[in-house]
Amino acid sequence: MTRPISAIININSLKNNFKIIRNIAFKSKIWLVLKADAYGHGIKNIFPVLNKKSNGFAILTIDEAIFLRINGYKKPILLLEGFFNKEELYLIYKYNLTITLHNKWQLNTLIKYKSKYPINIYIKINTGMNRLGFPTKNIIKIINIVKNQINVYKITLMTHFADASINSNFVKKQINNIKKYIHNYYEFPCSFANSAATLWHSYSHYDWIRTGIILYGASPTGDWKDISKKKIKPVMTLKSRIISIQKILPGQIVGYNCNYYTNKKRRIGIIACGYADGYPRNITAKTYVLIKGIKTKILGNVCMDMIAVDLINIPTAKIGSSVELWGENLKIDDIAKSVNTIGYELMCSLTKRVPRILK
């Protein structure tokens, strides 16, 4: 028997989420964001499902882009941070990639190593997030340089929102910063919206939205209840099995460091899932697993390869019983919240040794 942990990737849920995004932003094209190995789902699993439906894929590294091209993807590919060294430029030209241009070094490098073939350029504008992008007041100048000195097929204006949650007014503020400084902004295609803005700020959709997290079925806010009415479905279910049962007496301990004592007789299940699988170590009293439809608590520390759970209310659980760590029934947002993070981080932290299995 192989070790029983796996991440089940539900293809129908993925298609369902795509359809919902397609309907919400019905006027826009969609960059499906496949960075971080498709948010931990495996780019090689996700890409074939969405290949035909997609308008384009957004990724982070040149390797991801080349993977897509080598596997026959002919539509646009966007490098979300452009290039990091001049050697990558040659590959960008070779594979006809769309690049984000966000700093002076990139601009100067592009001017220096021009291409025979035109490429598409997303000029990233810092409208308030203060992470990447040119200052709004310089944008007209930058656009003119790009237009006149670089072999560019199409310029698109791009920005990223710092807070696009439901009641945020920061989205409007950031868009207004563009309108204020770039009076003719509507002459260019625009790409501003991430998942949150796609769901809750439809005026921000413009030509291309860029959706990641909702494609995978978790909430951009980290709160499942914010998207629970949108019919979005979790794509990944992390599953394992009970590999040992221990019956312990009052006063005995569970796990390392003797920091969990039981004050009564207990039946404990040991599950094949630990922090080396990407399960968070900093669990709290609100971190549950699901066995036979019943939520139960983790006892003691999360180990590298195992966790111990309370089986007191699940008498039928035995060695081999299936356990859901997060997924269709136990929302990744809830688990993430219980350990003070967001679904994004849990998905991306799932390690290589967990097989991804398509369903």
Residues catalogued as catalytic:
35, 256
- Answer for which of 110, 125, 155, 213 binds ligand PLP (CB under 6 A) is 213
Task: Report if residue 106 touches ligand PLP, rule: CB under 6 A.
Answer: no
Task: Report if residue 10 touches ligand PLP, rule: CB under 6 A.
Answer: no
Query: Which span sits near ligand PLP by CB under 6 A: 48-56, 210-218, 244-252, 321-329?
Result: 210-218
- Answer for which of 62, 65, 80, 157 binds ligand PLP (CB under 6 A) is 80
What is the CB-side half-sphere exposure of residue 197 using CA atoms within 13 A?
A: 26
How many angstroms separate the CA atoms of 41 and 337, rounded?
20
Task: Report residue 143: phi and psi, to 5°.
Answer: -55, -45
Q: Closer CB to ligand PLP, residue 160 or residue 205?
A: 160
Query: Taking a C-beta distance cutoff of 8 angstroms, is the pair 335, 221 a contact?
Result: no
- Answer for which of 102, 201, 210, 337 binds ligand PLP (CB under 6 A) is 210
How many angstroms separate the CA atoms of 183 and 98, rounded?
25
Cα–chain center distance at 80: 13
Which residue has its beta carbon closest to ligand PLP?
212
Query: Taking a C-beta distance cutoff of 8 angstroms, is the pair 343, 218 a contact?
Result: yes
Instruction: Tell which residue, 294, 308, 296, has the closest CA to residue 260.
Output: 308
Task: Report if residue 56 touches ligand PLP, rule: CB under 6 A.
Answer: no
Query: Which span sits near ligand PLP by CB under 6 A: 206-214, 254-262, 298-306, 308-316?
Result: 206-214
Phi-psi region of 256 (alpha: psi -120 to 50; beta: other; left: phi over 0): beta
Instruction: Write out the binding residues for ligand PLP, residues 27-46 only, by CB under 6 A.
Output: 33, 35
Min separation Cβ 34 and ligand PLP, Å: 10
Binding site for ligand PLP (CB under 6 A): 33, 35, 80, 160, 194-195, 210-213, 220
